[in-house]
Amino acid sequence: MADADALRDPGHPVPIVPEPSPPAIAPGDEGVMSLVDHLGELRTRLFRSLLAVGVGSVIGFMFAEQVRNAIVKLLPTGTVQVLGPGDAFMIQLRISIVIGVILAMPVILYQAWAFIAPGLTPAERRTIRPWVPLALLFFAMGVAIAIVVLPFATQFLLSFTDDVFVANIAAGPYFDFVTTMFLAFGLVMEFPILLYALARAGVLTSAQLRRSRRYVILGIAIFAAIATPGGDLVSPFVLGATMYVLFEATVFVIRRSGR
C-alpha cells in the first residue's frame, strides 16, 4: 500500500519508461526488396520485353512476305493452299511475331539478367555475365539448325505422298509446323545455361550429371520427339543430337570450373 500511495503522490512522479527503439538495419539490408517490389520489378521487365517483341513484330511485318515466300520455296510444289479468307493475314501476322521474338531476344535476355542480377553476389554476377551473350548465340544457333533441318524434314514427310495422297499442302498447318520448329529449336538451345547456373548455385555437380547420363539421354529423346511438331524422323534426331552434344560440352565446362 505504501508503494501505491507513493505512486499516487504528486511529489513522486511515475517514471516514464522509454519505448524500445526499432532494431538497427544491418549493413547491406537497405537494398532488400519486398515481395511487392519484386512483383513490380517483374512487371516492368515483362512490359519492356513485350514492348521489344511488339517493335520487332512491326519490323517483321514489313519483311514477312519475303520470309513467307522463302519458306514456301522449300516445298517441292513451291505453293501452299489458303483455305480461309483470313488465313493469309493470320499467317503473315504469325511470321511477324516470330521475327519479332527473334529480333527482341537481346532485349529479353537483358531484362531477364537485370531482374536476376541484384539477387546474386558480385562473384556470381561475374561468373554468369559472360553467359548472357552466349544465350543469344545459342538461340541463333537453334534457329539456324531449324532452317537447315526444315527442307529435309519436309522432304521426308512428303515422301509418303503419291497419286492417292496428293500433296496439296494447306498454308496454316505448314506454317504452324515451321514457326513451332524455329521457336522450339531456338529455346531448347538455352538449356546449357540453365545447367551451368544450377551448378554454380550448388544444386548440380558434374559428377551428378555424368551419373545421370542414361536418364538424360532418355529425357532428351522424349523431349526432342515432343518438341518437333512434324512427326518426321529427321527433326527429332537432329534436335536430340544437338542437345546431347551441348549437354556433354556443358558437363565438361562445369567440371573444368571445379564443380
Instruction: Check pLDDT > 80 for residue 17.
Output: no
Cα–Cα distance, 204 to 202 (Å, whole number)? 6
Q: Please, are residues 244 and 220 in contact by the beta-carbon 8 Å criterion?
A: yes
* Cβ 181 vs Cβ 146: under 8 Å: yes
Domain that holds residue 91: 37-256
**pLDDT band at residue 153 using 50, 70 and 90 as cut-offs:** confident
Residue 121 maps to a domain? yes
Confidence of residue 31 (pLDDT cuts 50, 70, 90): very low
Q: Is residue 108 part of a domain?
A: yes
Q: What is the pLDDT of residues 171-180, one digit of tens each?
A: 888 888 887 7
Dihedral pair phi/psi, residue 27, rounded to 5°: -60, 135
The residues, ordered by sequence, that sit 6+ positions from 234 with a Cβ below 8 Å of its Cβ are: 149, 152, 153, 156
Is residue 21 domain-resident? no
For residues 96 and 64, the answer to whether their CB atoms sit within 8 Å is yes
pLDDT at 25: 42
Residue 187 lies in a domain: yes
The residue with greater pLDDT, 120 or 213, is: 213
> Does 64 have pLDDT greater than 60?
yes
The pLDDT score that the predictor gives to residue 30 is 41
Mean pLDDT of the chain: 75
**Which whole number is the average pLDDT over 5-22?**
50
Written as one string, the DSSP assignment of 24-64 is PPPTTGGGPPPHHHHHHHHHHHHHHHHHHHHHHHHHHHHHH
For residues 192 and 231, the model is more confident at: 192
pLDDT in the model for residue 58: 92
Q: Is residue 23 part of a domain?
A: no
pLDDT at 29: 41
Q: Which has the closest alpha carbon to 183: 247, 104, 98?
A: 98
Residue among 120, 242, 237, 231 nearest 187 (CA): 242
What total of structural domains would you count in the chain? 1
pLDDT of residue 15: 53
